[in-house]
């Protein structure tokens, strides 16, 4: 297959491209490098022995994207090009809506023009927002609590409307839970350009000595140790989920619209993660308990059975392996440039 990976230089995208190339697919990445670096393309080549096509462009640049679609006959689009920082989305809703919505409009418009049959879209468990029902299955209602989540929800609704009007296009929205970990080579991983907002990159930067101590946001949640519980999933498992979704879309051209969770189905607390990481890296992780972070839920983990039933996909890597790979990446990330 010939696949366009929008946002393919980023964290999840680069791992997805590695899996695609390793399986023998052709890949063209379009990325504006707003949150990634060009050396990722070299690293992907070093890991797989194959160089993906790379176009540095904004997915919203209709003229440029028209050229890209005209040049390559794509069989599918994987759309990961989005801004993803919840707090920033509250401060800059216009930037987030423009980036995260216009990118999908442009891609779908060109898919229709060039008869590309399927799109796999990066959605998020964030669309479930506050819910007491765990594990969370795909029938749970939308309860977004911030502009970032709203952009994911609106994209899903938009794609539903598109496939209804254009039966030749199908859309699978993958609702990721909490991706962590990195490729086992230590060459690609999450590379926050700023102070990390998410738990795992914060922990790894404390372990390496870049940050002094972790703040744990609340220890009075109704969970086994009082700290928040999440469904952490290895990014390589997540990447493989995209290939499984692509195969399903190819075999089921009439699927229309699907929303599918990608998670492990297991919940771990902040302290579970801190302790497992600490064992793996052989250092203690200094932390302090601070106030709850506004908008955080106590517990969130997936019911991943739909992905297993439809795609035959399930996550394989455990929490220890996620920590080992995150730690290797943290130690290696600046060495390969
Ligand atoms: P990332 O920032 O590492 O990757 C996104 C990539 O898209 C970056 O390389 C960025 O430069 C590029 N990009 C952004 N806007 C673009 C545009 N308009 N044109 C071209 N390129 C553009 O983020 P990630 O963690 O790999 O996330 C990928 C997708 O998955 C995002 O849509 C994100 O919202 C979604 N998602 C991420 C998580 C997570 O925790 N990482 C969870 C759920 C969903
Ligand atoms: C995990 C747990 C925090 C940082 C976010 C987005 C979501 C999705 C995934 C894109 C929580 C606690 C965190 C810290 C802490 N992204 N924590 N100290 O909030 O579950 O999900 O990333 O779609 O939309 O909201 O992930 O890693 O930020 O937090 O105690 O410094 O760690 O309170 O319990 P979250 P996270």
Residue 241 pLDDT > 60, yes or no? yes
Name 158's Cβ contacts closer than 8 Å, sequence gap at least 6.
101, 104, 105, 108
Into how many domains does the chain fold? 1
Average pLDDT on 220-225 reads: 97
Q: How far apart are CA 258 and CA 171, in angstroms?
A: 6
Of 122, 178, 197, the residue with max ligand 2 atoms within 8 A of its CB, to mutate for a pocket test, comes to 178
179 pocket-lining for ligand 1 (C-beta < 6 Å): yes
Evaluate: CB of 290 within 6 angstroms of ligand 2: no
**DSSP, res 136:** B
Across 317-335, average pLDDT = 92
The helix (run of H) or strand (run of E) holding residue 312 is none
Q: What is the pLDDT of residues 46-87, one digit of tens each?
A: 999 999 999 999 999 999 999 999 999 999 999 999 999 999
Ligand 2 pocket residue status of 145, Cβ below 6 Å: no
| Annotated active-site residue in 72, 148, 202, 268 | 148
Q: What angle do CA 185, 13, 4 make, to 5 degrees?
A: 125
239 three-state secondary structure? helix
Region 220-226: mean pLDDT is: 97
Among 258, 259, 267, 251, which Cα is nearest to 302's? 267
Mean per-residue pLDDT of the chain: 96
Contact residues for 303 (Cβ-Cβ < 8 A; gap 6+)? 135, 136, 137, 138, 261, 265
Domain contains 40: yes
The answer to the question of residue 98 being in a domain is yes
Q: What is the pLDDT of residue 336?
A: 60
192 found inside a domain: no
In short, whether 92's Cβ falls inside 6 Å of ligand 2 is no
Which structural domain, as residue segments, surrounds residue 15? Answer: 2-180+232-263
The mean pLDDT of 185-212, rounded to a whole number, is 93
- Residue 301 CA to ligand 2 center (angstroms) comes to 13
Q: Is 90 part of a structural domain of the chain?
A: yes
Rounded Cα distance between 231 and 226, Å, is 16
Identify the weakest region by mean pLDDT among 18-22, 218-222, 292-296: 292-296
Rounded to the nearest angstrom, the distance between the alpha carbon of 83 and the centre of ligand 1 is: 6
Residue 277 pLDDT greater than 70, yes or no: yes
Atom 41, ligand 1: residue with shortest CA distance: 179
Alpha-carbon distance of 100 to 32, in angstroms, equals 13
Q: Judge whether 285 lies within some domain.
A: no
Q: Taking residues 254-274, what's their average pLDDT?
A: 98
Answer yes or no: is 158 within a domain. yes
Is the minimum distance from the CB of 107 to ligand 1 under 6 angstroms? no
- pLDDT tens string 82-110: 999 999 999 999 999 999 999 999 999 99
CA-nearest residue for atom 17, ligand 2, is: 199
Please tell me whether the peptide bond between 20 and the residue prior to it is cis, using omega within 30 degrees of 0: no
- pLDDT digits over 7-50, tens only? 999 999 999 999 999 999 999 999 999 999 999 999 999 999 99
Say if 8 falls within a structural domain: yes
Distance 226 CA to ligand 1 centre (A): 31
Does any domain span residue 256? yes
Quote the CA–CA distance of 155 and 105 in Å, as a whole number: 9
C-alpha 102 to ligand 2 mean position (Å)? 26
> Does the Cβ of 7 fall within 6 Å of ligand 1?
yes
Query: Which atom belonging to ligand 2 lies closest to the Cα atom of 84?
Result: 10
Question: Rounded to 5 degrees, what are φ and ψ at 100?
Answer: -75, -25
Which of 14, 18, 19, 35 to mutate to test ligand 1, by most ligand atoms within 8 A of the CB atom? 35
Question: Does residue 19 sit in helix, strand or coil?
Answer: helix
Q: What CATH number does the domain containing 117 carry?
A: 3.40.50.720
Active site residue 148: yes
Strand arrangement of the beta sheet that strand 299-300 belongs to: 268-269, 229-230, 299-300
Q: Which atom of ligand 2 is nearest to 176's Cα?
A: 23
């Amino acid at each position: 297959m010939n696949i366009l990976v929008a946002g393919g230089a980023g964290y999840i995208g680069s791992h997805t491209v590695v899996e695609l190339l390793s399986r023998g697919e052709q890949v063209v990445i379009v990325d504006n490098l707003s949150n990634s670096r060009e050396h990722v393309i070299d690293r992907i080549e070093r890991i797989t022995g194959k160089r993906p096509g790379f176009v540095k462009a904004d997915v919203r640049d209709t003229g440029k994207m028209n050229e890209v679609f005209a040049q390559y006959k794509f069989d599918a689009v994987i759309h990961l090009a989005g801004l993803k920082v919840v707090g920033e989305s509250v401060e800059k809703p216009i930037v987030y809506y423009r980036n995260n919505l216009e990118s999908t409009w442009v891609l779908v418009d060109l898919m229709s023009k060039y008869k590309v049959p399927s799109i796999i879209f990066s959605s998020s468990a964030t669309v479930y927002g506050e819910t007491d029902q765990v594990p969370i299955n795909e029938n749970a209602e939308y309860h977004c609590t911030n502009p970032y989540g709203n952009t994911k929800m609106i994209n899903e609704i938009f794609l539903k409307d598109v496939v209804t009007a254009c039966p030749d296009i199908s859309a699978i929205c993958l609702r990721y839970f909490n991706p962590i970990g990195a490729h086992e080579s230590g060459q690609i991983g999450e590379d926050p350009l700023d102070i990390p907002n998410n738990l795992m990159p914060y922990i790894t930067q404390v372990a390496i000595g870049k940050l002094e101590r972790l703040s744990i946001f609340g220890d009075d949640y109704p969970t086994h140790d009082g700290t928040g519980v999440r469904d952490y999933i290895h990014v390589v498992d997540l990447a493989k989920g995209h290939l499984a979704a692509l195969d399903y879309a190819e075999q089921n051209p009439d699927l229309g619209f699907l929303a599918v969770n990608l998670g492990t189905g297991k919940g771990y607390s902040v302290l579970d993660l801190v302790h497992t990481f600490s064992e793996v890296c052989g250092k203690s992780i200094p932390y302090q308990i601070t106030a709850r972070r506004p908008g955080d839920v106590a517990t969130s983990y997936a019911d991943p059975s739909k992905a297993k039933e439809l795609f035959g996909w399930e996550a394989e890597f455990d929490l220890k392996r996620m920590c080992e790979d995150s730690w290797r990446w943290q130690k290696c990330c600046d060495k390969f440039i």
